[in-house]
Amino acid sequence: MHWLLKRIFYFIPKSGIMEVRIEESWKQVLQEEFEKPYFKKLTDFIRQEYRAHQVFPPAKCVFNALDSCPISRVKVVILGQDPYHGPGQANGLCFSVNDGIAKPPSLQNIFKELKSDLNITPPASGNLQRWADQGVLLLNASLTVRAFQAGSHQGNGWEEFTDRVVRKLANDKSNLVFMLWGSFAQKKGGVIDNHRHLVLKSPHPSPLSAHRGFLGNGHFGKANQYLRDHGGQPIKW
């Protein structure tokens, strides 16, 4: 795992500038973040965590959400909180699991809403890579987590980094759809101008809250209608 981390984060000796292996368009717009002190502390923390503990997702997938969705292709943004912390689940996309892994309850509710909203039969796999490939940015607030310890990497810099991602999208692009499920995502999306973008809010799809308004929110159909109304291609959910 160490060699993967070195390929993802390293310093150029002569300049001291952090070089991050990430999709090129995101690398350009986020370069200032990579050079800030908090990001150096974050990468030191992440390296140590991968050395000392089991951490998810695999190091090669840490930036999967951004790598899969260049900034020019982003149409829809879905915000999550932490990667899944069970073995084999996390693949770097929020709410998504790898092929062959049982769908967690929140993802099951997402597929229930898709069935209700657009009459889409839930797929066998819970891997949402197909959404990312169409321009759905599936971004967690923290991009890593220690195994079996939800929230274990919060407060170490990831939130500042992903706040910057959200802010860049909200300020530099127009007519995006932001799906903010639950109070955490809604707070993180507080910088979004709802006159410039479509901001869809509801309770979280967790079984603890889905029945309070996530199920029946119609977000997938509303997103596609908005994209059509603004000259874009709808998502094949």
Residues classed as catalytic: 82
Separation of alpha carbons 189 and 213, rounded Å:
19
Dihedral angle of Cα 198, 32, 156, 169, to the nearest 10 degrees: 10
User: Which tokens go with 17?
Assistant: 């500038």
Cα(83)–Cα(57) distance, integer angstroms: 7
For 187, the 3-state DSSP assignment is helix
Helix (H) or strand (E) holding 146: strand 145-146
Strands (DSSP E) found in the chain: 9-11, 18-20, 55-56, 76-80, 136-140, 145-146, 177-181, 198-202
